[in-house]
Structure 1
Amino acid sequence: MWSCRQEERVQSDEAAPARTTITALIWAPDWPEEMLRIAAGFSELNPDVHVNVQFMIGNSVEENIKPRIASGNLPDIVSVNPNAYSAELADQGVLADVRDTAAWRNMLGPLKNDWTSRQGRAFGISGGVATTLVYYNETMFAKAGIHSPPTNFREFLAVCEQLKRAGFTPIMWNGGFPNMLGNGPFGSGFADNVVAREPDWKRKMADGTLDLNTPEVADIFAKIALVAQRGYVQDAYMATGYDDGIRLFKEGKVAMAFHGSWAAGLLLHGNGFETGVMIPPWNAPGERPVPIIGSETGFAVCETANRAASLRFLDYIAGGGFAVLQQKRQNIAPFVQTPTTMASDPKIVGYMKMVNSYPVTSSPYYSVLPSNSIERLHRLMQDVLLKKTTPKQAAKLLDESVKNEAKMHYK
């Protein structure tokens, strides 16, 4: 009897299909539950593949990827930014070419250049069409006697003062999560102070000829510090993390939040007040602002033994899985619109249409700076806020970092 049961068990094991486990290392600071649902949905439709989801921590995608590459412990699918670092990984054979996937074919044409390496490899897909903007509490503005949003930095400071006098905290600063300082005030400062003045800034940054040791770049850091020095930010702002900042705005404890379109679902809905959106007023009076438009952090497939299964998962993320993200995030879909990707908030849709008409736009900071310079920038912004470094010193150190990266990698 024992031997018969043993034989039956062996036959049953042999009949069971082999199951592949793929590891997904994902940047999802505000949508971890959705990512788990996407993985579960994929495995339900593809029972031969199990997705082991691991979440990135810290302040940037790159600081999570670099140790894995150094140790040879590659995930099968990974969140990446559309920048020179990711493109170089593709040209080195670390990231797979995804050009033959449905996800790549369905991505909006203008975004594909962001995700193409120097050697012409399609190294990933976008997680959304990204823009950074200022969300504001219309009720607080009205109570403070503010009838229209500011259109330049001088007006912004005046609005902050008016809000402060009315008993409100004007704006939220993510001092404990410098990624958002980079996406917010640094990114807009770079757009208005550098991009507006130098049309060839991308090439010059890549080859090390863009001068960032300037009064204009020092001014970017000075504005970040000035807003805090005047008491326009929340208490304990240097300890405010990503979720904390969103909660402060939603609970009506701050009047404005500098954030991305990816957080539209959280920042525009479920509040006890109407929320408006505005182009960040970081420009000087009389000058037109330079909005930020580009690709959001997206997804790539690594060249591992599980490449085929990972490419299938990538297509699912961009297909049925993307609807799960849209339900919460309501950002702008990076793919050809279908009924399942039409959940974008109308305010964000209108905002994007408006800024797309601007003659000059900039890219998100994570696709502007070299990866090591991103990490350097995070520390510099925090040090400026803590008065350990002056804005002028910060500009000089950032310039040195960017030029050093160009010297090491530009060919």
Structure 2
Amino acid sequence: MQRSHFIRLLSGLIGLLALCSCHQQDAATPRSTPPHRTTITALIWAPDWPEQMLQIAAEFSALNPDVRVDVQFMIGNSVEENIKPRVAAGMLPDVLSVNPNAYSAELADQNVLADVSQTVAWQNVLAPLRRDWTSRHGTAFGISGGVATTMIYYNRDMFAKAGVEKVPTNFDEFLRVCAQLKRAGFTPIMLNGGFPNMLGNGPFASGFANNVVAHEPNWKSKMAEGTLNLDTAQVADIFAKMALLPERGYVQPAFMSTGYDDGMQLFKEGKVAMTFQGSWAAGLLLHGNRFATGVFIPPWNARGEPVVPVLGSETGFAVSETPNKAAAMRFLEFIAGKGFPILQKKRHNISPFQHDAETAVSDREIVDYTNAASRYPVTASPYYSTLPSNTLESLHGLMQDVLLKKMTPRQAAKHLDQSVKNEAKMHYK
């Protein structure tokens, strides 16, 4: 009994000494506190690359453990319809997708969007594109997501089987090619009736380029002033050309319910011979097909007139004036730097940055197309940087109404004209 009592006493003494030692060690070595972590929100337009955006955010947070990125994705038909409610509520995210247009520029001049001119990303944006991203008061309000140009992708195998030996160079030739493809049993072209954003980027943008920009060098300033007349036969013709494609049976069945992804899938599956798309879709549309794919400038010009390509800045990224602006600027730098190759592996777009020659993944065919388009004496802007933001939303409905035969092309031109002039009255000073 005495021996067991001694053992218990010795064990207790050892435990007490160990406890004292731990207290001394704790007193000598201060505990490390975890770093403060800032959460920034990023609201992004990424209809065809959401996984890549999530990867960019994850890799940024891994290298910047003090910043967490909460990625949210825009929905609907336009960037602006996602931004406007948040501006009205004073709840803009820290980083967001924006278009290089008057609406975004005005947000910058109202100190809603931050000036990014001191970032490395801005310094690396190609000089011609910087004009698209500079407000009237000289604020650099965003960086471009790519060099945007819209084109027609075509199935070379279908063209060959239908006996089409060369791509069309004007709208009359285009209609003849469509007729030839249809006679050979092919659906000539895909139309995104259910996703009016691509109707705008496709037949509307090319129509505006060839029917308005080609004949009015000062179209942009006149539109801002409210003196550009769009209630004309030429503008009605933009809508009429769009409506002519389904009228002649040149588009896929149920075209008014075709969205963005399913429209591209129709082309990839060889169910349509052509599709309007942008350079941003090159990674998907040029690869993984059972057929060879080519591209050509949409021939929306009249016979005997030079074609006007669409070329400009793609939807890009901006930083809001929020308490998290410093962390948001760091994320913007990452998107334009180490994150950009992640995006490019999926999209194969034309890089808007000077320093990306080695890291950017681009297809030779798209590079050649963009270089050729840039050499034309007259080029037009993408539709989202051409029209006022409220007019964009109006245009989406006008195009769909014309396709559904609820409105005539001439009525659509009149409504478009009224919308543009109303916007000028409200905003032009």
TM-score range, shorter chain: over 0.9
Letter in 2 for 1:24: A
CA distance in 1, matches of 2:122, 2:364: 26
Per-residue deviation, residues 113-170 of structure 1 (Å, max 9, x unmatched): 1000011000000000000000000000000000111110001001001101111000
CA distance in 1, matches of 2:83, 2:30: 40
Q: How does 1:260-299 map to 2 (within 5 A)?
A: 260-299=278-317
Q: How does 1:12-411 map to 2 (within 5 A)?
A: 15-411=33-429
Per-residue deviation, residues 18-56 of structure 1 (Å, max 9, x unmatched): 000000000000000000000001001101000000000
Per-residue deviation, residues 362-397 of structure 1 (Å, max 9, x unmatched): 000000000000000000000000000000000000
Do 1:21 and 1:51's aligned partners in 2 also have CA atoms closer than 8 Å? yes
The alignment of Structure 1 onto Structure 2 pairs a total of residues equal to: 405
Letter in 1 for 2:408: T
CA distance in 1, matches of 2:97, 2:325: 15
How far 1:71 moved relative to its partner? 1.1
Do 1:174 and 1:238's aligned partners in 2 also have CA atoms closer than 8 Å? yes
CA distance in 1, matches of 2:120, 2:266: 40
Moved more, 68-77 or 82-91: 68-77
Do 1:25 and 1:77's aligned partners in 2 also have CA atoms closer than 8 Å? yes
**Matched position secondary structure for 1:148:** coil
CA distance in 2, matches of 1:307, 1:127: 20
The equivalent of 2:6 in structure 1 is none
CA distance in 2, matches of 1:143, 1:120: 54
How far 1:74 moved relative to its partner? 1.2
CA distance in 1, matches of 2:205, 2:93: 30
CA distance in 1, matches of 2:357, 2:427: 43
How far 1:338 moved relative to its partner? 2.9
CA distance in 2, matches of 1:279, 1:323: 27
Stretches of structure 1 that go unaligned for 5 or more consecutive residues are none
CA distance in 1, matches of 2:159, 2:357: 36
Stretches of structure 2 that go unaligned for 5 or more consecutive residues are 1-18
Cα distance change, pair 43–202 in 1 and its aligned pair in 2 (3 A): same
CA distance in 1, matches of 2:49, 2:359: 17
**Matched position secondary structure for 2:339:** helix
- TM-score, length-normalised on structure 2? 0.93
- The structure number with the bigger radius of gyration is 2
CA distance in 1, matches of 2:371, 2:43: 33
Letter in 2 for 1:334: P
How far 1:342 moved relative to its partner? 2.9
